[in-house]
Amino acid sequence: MNNEHAGSVRVKVPASTANLGPGFDTLGMSLSLYIWVEMRRAEQTIVHFAGEGFEGIPADKENLIYKVAQLVFEAAGVEVPELEIGMRSDIPLTRGLGSSASAIIAGIVAANALIGSPLSKDQLFDLATGLERHPDNVGASLFGGIIAAAWDGTHADYVRIEPPENLKVLALIPEFELATSAARAVLPQQLSLPDAVHNISRSSLLTAALASGRLDLLASAMRDRLHQPYRAALVPGMTTILERAVEYGALGAALSGAGPTLLALVDRRSENQSDLENFMQHVMQENGIQARALWLEPDLEGAVCESGIHPDLFLERIKGEISS
């Protein structure tokens, strides 16, 4: 891509769920909720927001998208000090669906495209993981599908797994926010050997089951002792849903990332989908929590970029795509 041809770029990036139960900071899967970001050079930096949910987010150089773009420019040895940025997102903030990771990926992919894509996807992955400090969400949003990854503090090794064809996802999103910092603060500093072995074995089994399409193993493989028991008090009703979702047709259930969203993996051929949704909603209601249910698909593409958008269509193209 020639630099002067990338006058404006638009990026579409999926949400993600992390951990899938036992795969703490290691396993992630992309989901069919999206953030759209447009970016172009400007004389003065300004960030536009299309839609709702951006209250309190900076519209200047303090914006996360601007900051991660500058990291890309620095890594590439290029200076683009002023940017006009447009954002539209369907991903709820601080709900455990990777909103910050999606924004980071959108920013670095757009910035890279704007200067002719000098950095490879693997370089962008390392840059994004360095910001997030764990590779699961950013990897899923960048590459799509299911990601198993390991981060050594400098470089992330990963394997992308194509989601099983019949896998779909029910996300139950409570109407309250849960900061990742708060969800991590309740975790223990040490684990017993039996708990460590439990999670290693389940995480290995889960990765193999997803890679081979063994949906029948998910209920057992998604059991966790590392983080979900300690976070249960932060999401009333969570323990009941995780323990009993399979009785109502789920293949397995987990806390999505740091929560509070709860996730059930489902075989799309199942005839119990409405029963499962009703059960999960009922448990939340019994605990006095309002929640909305979304049926989602694993996103298979990851971050998708378009370049060369006419400047007069900046932001309007985002709004047009969302409304169509």
CATH superfamily membership of 167-296: GHMP kinase, C-terminal domain (3.30.70.890)
Per residue in 250-285, pLDDT (tens digit) is 999 999 999 899 999 999 999 989 999 999 999 999
Per residue in 107-164, pLDDT (tens digit) is 999 999 999 999 999 999 999 999 999 999 999 999 999 999 999 999 999 999 999 9
Q: Residue by residue, what is the 3-state secondary structure of the chain?
A: CCHHHCCEEEEEEEEEEECCCCCCCCEEEEEEEEEEEEEEECCCCEEEECCCCCCCCCCCCCCHHHHHHHHHHHHHCCCCCCEEEEEEECCCCCCCCCHHHHHHHHHHHHHHHHCCCCCCHHHHHHHHHHHHCCCHHHHHHHHCCEEEEEECCCCEEEEEECCCCCEEEEEEEECCCCCHHHHHHCCCCCCCHHHHHHHHHHHHHHHHHHHHCCHHHHHHHCCCCCCHHHHHHHCCCHHHHHHHHHHHCCCEEEECCCCCCEEEEEECCCCCHHHHHHHHHHHHHHCCCCEEEEEECECCCCCEEEECCCHHHCCHHHHHHHHC
Instruction: Tell which CATH classification among 3.30.230.10, 3.20.20.70, 3.90.45.10, 3.40.50.1970 matches the domain 3-162+299-323.
Output: 3.30.230.10
Q: Any idea where the domains of the chain sit in the sequence?
A: 3-162+299-323, 167-296
pTM of full prediction above 0.85: yes
